[in-house]
């Protein structure tokens, strides 16, 4: 988080801070799920290619 964002976050009420952080966490969680799905697909394609090369 940038210094400006941290300063703005500190100026918010506690409930607003919690809401903002929950949104950030949800976004990070969603990005991680996308990464896991991508790596899973890559791994499956790797296995398929390896099997066909045998």
Q: Is residue 40 part of a domain?
A: yes
pTM above 0.85, yes or no: no
Domain containing residue 32: 27-54
What CA–CA distance (Å, rounded) separates 3 from 10? Answer: 11
Average pLDDT of span 17-28: 94
Cα–Cα–Cα angle for 41, 50, 45, rounded to 5 degrees: 15
Q: What is the dihedral of CA 22, 27, 28, 33, to 10 degrees?
A: 130
Q: Is residue 48 part of a domain?
A: yes
Total number of domains in the chain: 1
Q: Is residue 46 part of a domain?
A: yes
Q: Is residue 8 part of a domain?
A: no
Q: Is residue 49 part of a domain?
A: yes
Q: Is residue 54 part of a domain?
A: yes
17 half-sphere exposure, CB direction, 13 A CA radius: 10
Average pLDDT of span 12-21: 92
The predicted pLDDT at position 32 comes to 96
Q: What are 31's two structure tokens?
A: 């990005």
Q: Is residue 45 part of a domain?
A: yes
The predicted pLDDT at position 9 comes to 83
């Amino acid at each position: 988080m940038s210094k400006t964002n941290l300063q703005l976050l500190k100026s918010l009420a506690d409930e607003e801070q919690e809401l903002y952080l929950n949104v950030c966490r949800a976004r990070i969680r969603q990005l991680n799920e996308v990464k896991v799905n991508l790596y899973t697909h890559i791994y499956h394609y790797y296995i398929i290619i390896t099997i066909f090369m045998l």
